[in-house]
Every structure is written in structure tokens, then in C-alpha cells.
Structure 1
Amino acid sequence: MRKKILAVSALTAAAALALSGCSSTTESTDGSGGLSIDVPDVPMMDKLGENEKEVNIIAWSGFVEPAWTDAFTEATGCTVNRRVAGTSDEMVQLMRTGDYDLVSASGDASLRLIAGGDVQPLNLEHIPNFGDDIVEGMKGQIYDTINGKSYGIPIGRGANILQYNSEIVTEEPTSWDVAWEKDSPYAGKVIAYDAPIYIADAAVYLMAHEPDLGIENPYALDEKQLKAAVDLLKQQNGIVSEYWSDPAAQITSFAGGTTVLGTSWEVLRKLTEDDKYKSVLPEEGSTGWSDAWMLAAKSKNPNCAYAWMDYASSPEVNGAIAMNFGMAPANAAFCDTSEEAKAHCEYYNATNEEYFKKVWFWTTPIEQCIDGRTDVKCTNFQQWTDAWTSVKG
């Protein structure tokens, strides 16, 4: 199980997030979605050549397994060399060594890689499995589609939901207020996510409960809005039992009774194998994560890399990855391959776009406001990192 811990040095953050030029919007210049911002001009691969002998992949645990790589090697002649990473920051650092061809990046790493010129735009004509069966909600997103160019091939997605012990929380919560307000009846038994990106969770709550702040996107916070989110987080700190970044620790906290409700992933509730743990997507919505394959700007094995992206996007392989990790697959055709696949897709809301319309997927905060504002600077990831330190004390 991976840990998405987002600590990053000031030097790294400054280098990756110092974007300049035109302000960002939620629509690209050609109307295909994504952002419109200045990024390094990295060329896209026009034509495929002969497959090289290998492909070097950085991936989350469970994304690249022998059951799939052996068949891929037999079909293509490309040996898969896997490096498992535990954090998004580790992935960014490893991609900058030049030793890897592909990475399974989450939205909190994608813009850092694109802004740093570390990954290249993708020629979707070379990836036939990126077609009509890829769920629409994972195409053209602001964390991996820049200036009309796709930099990521979707793998899977999930929401950060409110999990609770139904033996203690006997009525299903409809709001996040039980996890944020100081008068919560579960004060002292609330668990929260331990990472700077968790600031966005506070922003989602404020969007619903303090509309005068003018927050339109939880990853586009000016200094005033960031302060409001931090103030809320400090208030929550007083009712938190513990913070988690290690999923095993989160499960232990619930099982041991230290926690009765708080932020979770759907797969963590399932891993408890106990019907008393339930979850809900509250009325305010939530944050979430979406992962995508991204190709190194100076890949030494681009042909094998393109072959892997296409292979891993097939219904069978993409579905196997989704089931192995515990998330909604990107290729909806997988959901019709078996009764087990259908049940998995229903559990993770794979094709339920109404569900995911309420989910704000992790996106690296940058100074250009991704909500379209041009009259103010938004706060960047380093500022969020500093702010998170002040929350934890």
C-alpha cells in the first residue's frame, strides 16, 4: 500500500513551481480541457520505432506486477524493470535522474513534472486503448492536460471519503461537520490525513460553509483563503485523535478504537473486513486522487514505454491493476468482463460521473490561479508545506 506523503524541500518546490507567463484557466486554448499556462516546450514523439529491450518504470506498489509484466515481455520483447516508490516526492526526484522512462504519477506530482520539463506530451494515436472506453471524467483534467496536450494516460481514481464506525456513529453523517467543528460529538476521536495537500480538504469544507471567502477551486487559494483554511485546520487539530499517512496506521487506529471517524480511502474500509466500518461522500463533496502514466522527457526507451502504456490501458490489465490496488479503473470496458469486475466497479463508482463530479482531484497548487483569476496570485505548494507545518506545530 502506498503512502502519498507530500513533503518537499524548498529548493525542489521553487524549481518545480516557478511558472510564469499567462495565467491559468480551467480550459485550454483549444477547448480540450486542462490548463493554459507556460511550460517548457518538450517535443512529442511523432512516430514509433522498433521496441527497445527494456522499459524502466517508477510505480506505486501494486501497479506493476509479474502477472502482467511477463505477458507484456513475451508480446513485445520489452523487459520491465520496476522501481516501487512510496511518495509523490520520491517519484518526482527519481524522474529527474534520467534513469526512468515512465511513472505512475498522482495529481499532486503531475504539474511539478510538467512544469519542470521532466515529462513529454503524449501522442494518443500511439495508444489505441486510450479510446472511447476510458471514462470521460479522467480525460482532459487540469493536473495532466496542459495547453491542449495530454501528458498522462489515466490508470485509476478514488475519493477521499468520510469513514466511520457505525457501532458508535449510529446515524450516517451527511456533512463533514462532524470531522471539522470543535463541538463535534466525536471530538478527540477524529482522524485526519497528514500532508500539506490536506489543506484542500479544509478548503472544500469552506467552499460550502463560508462562501464569502470566494473559493472556487480548493487548489487555488490566495493568501486570505489559505489563512482561512489553516485556521480551520488548527481548529480541527483540537479534536483530532491522530494524523495518518500510512494506511496501515489508519486501519489500526479504527480497529483499536482510537478513532471513530475521519478521512479515508474506500479501499481502507474494505481492508478492515468488518461491516461496522462504513463510508460516505458528504454533501460538501471531497478531495480525491487520480493516477496516470507519464513519459520521461528524455526517455531512453520510448517505444517500449508507449507499448506499456497501451498494454496497461487495456480493459483486462487496467482492471487488474485497479482490483489489485483498490480503486476505480480508467477503462470502463473492464466493468463488463465478469461479475467480479462488475461488483468492483460498482463498489468504487467507476462509471458514476455524478459521484465524481463532487470530487476535487489532487492538483499541485501553483501561483497561477487555476480557477481563472488573473488579478491575484495564488499560493504555491511550498507555501502550503510551510502552512502545514504551522498546523501540526
Structure 2
Amino acid sequence: MWSKRAAGVASSAALALALLTGCGGGDDDAVTAEQGFKVPDLPAATAVGAPEGQVNIVNWAGYVEDGSTDPKVDWVTEFEKTTGCTVNSKVAGTSDEMVTLMKTGEYDLVSASGDASLRLIAGGDVAPVNTGLIPNYADVYPALKNQRHNSVNGVSYGVPHGRGANLLMWRTDKVSPAPDSWGAVFDANSPYKGNITAYDSPIYIADAALYLMATEPDLGIKNPYALDQDQFDAAVTLLKAQNGLIGEYWSDYTKELQAFSSGDSVLGTTWQVIANLAQADGAKVDVTLPKEGATGWSDTWMISSRAENPNCAYKWMDWIISPKANAAVSEWFGEAPSNAKACAETADPKHCATFHADDEDYFKQIWYWTTPIAQCLDGRTDIECVDYSEWTRAWTAIKG
């Protein structure tokens, strides 16, 4: 569905940002040094200088559109004309690929999801962001700022792009009664065995943990991304059992759309945009936020600690969260915008209502993807939690 913008413009301008130590406001949800999370001592910009002429971006498909996918979908061309910064885009298929690409030092920016951002911060691959240099940051929903996935010690490491939930979708002509719990995809006796789908990523272990948090309170899970060994083993056991029910794991949402449209999949985790597209194609599907809540994403634009084009990078971060551009990208991709003023700019006046843009009660039920680390993010200090490298190894074993 998406096409990527060609990259390859030669590197040119020298670094033009003066630097100092990172700045940013504090928040109770932020990761702190007291939790044992250590980060390299990297500076943040103090000023934005003359544009270097280009910016190199690693992004999710649909986040950097210049009209080549659809002539009507273009928020890059105006940016280039306004700033003089040519945009070179590299689409990444997974968070792991984003981390790998950012480690090369060849890219200035990344649209990182929460299962990548703390890895990038801890690895010194991204720098703190001086949000005072980004005027449109003032209009970002407060609930998206300085969260566990994009800040450490009260220091911001990026600007929020948008957010969404991982929902439960089913074929209304094949699944009855309508499910209201994630138990529907974990039921060992499910009549839909072989037609259930799940998201293909180690971070999906958190979905199992979230279900266990609600259904097996004796495990003591307080945060689906903060699992000690016993809690982690319980989630892995549940997912290994679920594997026998799965017809197909998905990461490319166009493939999930096809599977639900054809009936190969009738029940499983999804995104609101997939449901919208499936319904538009005539598929009999519906979605719900299950009673246990859900995992979800809040993507963050982060700047490389080795950015060769930091001035253009800062200009892009301000542009992509401006009301007009943020409305366009959130509507095209299918998510809630991060800028509160974007809702007045969407072509569909119901877009923000559909995606619960300003419904904080809705998003309080969402656990945004956050990189699991050894220091338990639920506040425990007397035990280590299982870090993301172990989640990755376990996921390979779960899928068999």
C-alpha cells in the first residue's frame, strides 16, 4: 500500500547546532535513575541554525508521504519548499529494524515506537530533545509528554507523533457471541482454532501479560512490560498454548486486512485503521477495546546523537506535529494525532472521535509499548525483570 521515498542525497552541511546538557520537564511516569536506568551523558540543542539542505529519516510506512503513493497525500513537498530541507526517507518494517538502522549513524531522525525508544536512549543512539526549540510542542496533548517510553529523569528524548490501541477484531458473520475479552484469543477450546491471528513481535508478550494481570491476580503483575521471571514464564506458557490456535501471525497490516476480508482470519488483535479499511471493503468485522484494557503505541520522533543534519531534523519535528501536517498523517495512517489543534484540520470531521484523540479515559486503559528492561518499570527494586533481549529469544521459541 505504501511506497518509500528514494534516499541517497549526498551528505553535505556541517553540524550547526550549539549544544548543552539535556533539558525538559519532569513527570511521575518518566523512567528515573532511581530505577537504575542509566543513559549516556549527551547534550541537547540550544538553537536551530541554518538548514543543511536535507534530512535523512527512518520511519514507519505512511509517516513520510510526498505524493508518490497518492498524489493527494503529501505533507513533505510543502516542508521541503518552506525549509529548503530535502527529505530522504527509509521505511522500516519493524522496531528492531529501526534500532539497527539508527545504530549506523546514517540517519538523522526516527519515528520510534515504545518498544524501540528506550533501547535507542540507553544505547546512546538518540539525543535529548530541547522541546523549547519546537513551537508546536506546546499544543501536544499533555498526557503524551514525558512518558516512560520517551523520557528519562525528566528529560525529553523526542516529540510525540500519534497514538493508537491494539484492539480485538472479529468477523461478525462467523464469530458469535461478540467477544469482550482477550480470553477469546487464548481459549484453548476455541472453535476458531486455525483462524485466530496475533501480532508478530516479541512485544506481543505484553498482551499475554496484560490478560494475566486481569485474570490471574496471584501472579502480581502490575505492568505488562515489567515481568519478573515467574511472571514472564507464565506469559510465555500462555502464548505457547495459543500458538496452536494461530492461523497466521501478522506484522504487515495490509496482509491482516486481506486475511479478514477473505475469512482466513476471523478473530484476533488489530488496529482501528485495519477495521476501517476492512469495513470499507465490505468485510463484516467489528472491533472492541476488551474489558482487560489493551496494549498500544505512542510513536515518538527522536533525533540521532550523531545527526549530520540536526537543523533540518528539528524543523521536521516541528513540522510533523504542526496542526495541518499532524492531521494529514494521522488521518492517512489511522491513529489519533498528538497535536490537539490537528482535529480541526482533518478532512473527516469525525476522525478524532473515531480514534479517541482527546478521550483520556479511553487511553488510560492503554499500556503503550515500552521497552522491557532489567530494572523493573513497576517500581520494584528487590528483583530484576526480564529484559527485551530475553523477550526476543522467547518469541522465537513461542512461534516454534
Whole-Å Cα distance in 2 between the matches of residues 349 and 334 of structure 1?
13
Is the Cα–Cα contact under 8 Å of residues 178 and 185 in structure 1 kept in the other structure?
Answer: no
Give the unaligned 5+ runs of structure 1: 3-27
Whole-Å Cα distance in 1 between the matches of residues 78 and 146 of structure 2?
30
Question: In structure 1, which of residues 96, 110, 115 is the aligned counterpart of residue 117 of structure 2?
Answer: 110
Alignment of 1:154-233 (within 5 A): 154-233=160-239
Aligned pair 1:320/2:316, yes or no?
no
Whole-Å Cα distance in 2 between the matches of residues 74 and 32 of structure 1?
40
Is the Cα–Cα contact under 8 Å of residues 25 and 146 in structure 2 kept in the other structure?
Answer: no
Is the Cα–Cα contact under 8 Å of residues 108 and 364 in structure 1 kept in the other structure?
Answer: yes
Question: In structure 2, which of residues 354, 370, 384 is the aligned counterpart of residue 363 of structure 1?
Answer: 370
Cα shift at 1:341: 3.9
Measured against aligned partners, the alpha-carbon deviations of 1:80-126 in whole angstroms (never above 9, x if no partner) come to: 12222222122111111111111111111101110000111111110
Cα shift at 1:42: 0.7
Aligned pair 1:250/2:256, yes or no?
yes
Whole-Å Cα distance in 1 between the matches of residues 30 and 201 of structure 2?
25
Amino acid at match of 2:162: G
Give the unaligned 5+ runs of structure 2: 3-23, 67-73
Measured against aligned partners, the alpha-carbon deviations of 1:142-186 in whole angstroms (never above 9, x if no partner) come to: 011111011021111111100011112243322111111212343
Q: In the alignment, which residue of structure 1 is the partner of 2:306?
A: 298
Amino acid at match of 1:81: N
SS at match of 1:129: helix
Q: In the alignment, which residue of structure 2 is the partner of 1:62?
A: 62
Aligned pair 1:267/2:273, yes or no?
yes
Whole-Å Cα distance in 2 between the matches of residues 312 and 348 of structure 1?
19
Q: In the alignment, which residue of structure 2 is the partner of 1:42?
A: 42
Is the Cα–Cα contact under 8 Å of residues 58 and 103 in structure 1 kept in the other structure?
Answer: yes
Q: In the alignment, which residue of structure 2 is the partner of 1:281?
A: 289
SS at match of 1:371: coil
Amino acid at match of 1:289: W
Larger relative contact order (C-alpha < 8 A, sep ≥ 6)? 1
Question: In structure 2, which of residues 236, 243, 246 is the aligned counterpart of residue 240 of structure 1?
Answer: 246
Cα shift at 1:29: 10
Cα shift at 1:303: 1.1
Cα shift at 1:32: 5.3
Q: In the alignment, which residue of structure 2 is the partner of 1:71?
A: 78
Whole-Å Cα distance in 1 between the matches of residues 399 and 26 of structure 2?
42
1:192–1:168 CA distance, 2 compared to 1 (3 A): same
Whole-Å Cα distance in 1 between the matches of residues 61 and 254 of structure 2?
14
Q: In the alignment, which residue of structure 2 is the partner of 1:10?
A: none
Whole-Å Cα distance in 2 between the matches of residues 252 and 80 of structure 1?
31
Name which of structure 1's ranges 307-316 and 64-73 shifts more when overlaid on structure 2. Answer: 64-73
Amino acid at match of 2:38: D
Measured against aligned partners, the alpha-carbon deviations of 1:318-355 in whole angstroms (never above 9, x if no partner) come to: 111111111111112111235x3431111111111111
Q: In the alignment, which residue of structure 1 is the partner of 2:9?
A: none
Whole-Å Cα distance in 2 between the matches of residues 323 and 63 of structure 1?
10
Q: How many residues align?
A: 366
1:53–1:291 CA distance, 2 compared to 1 (3 A): same
Output the TM-score relative to the length of structure 2. Answer: 0.88
Q: Find runs of 4+ consecutive structure 1 residues off by over 3 angstroms.
A: 28-33
Whole-Å Cα distance in 2 between the matches of residues 32 and 310 of structure 1?
25
Q: In the alignment, which residue of structure 1 is the partner of 2:51?
A: 51
Q: In the alignment, which residue of structure 2 is the partner of 1:20?
A: none
Whole-Å Cα distance in 1 between the matches of residues 245 and 342 of structure 2?
42
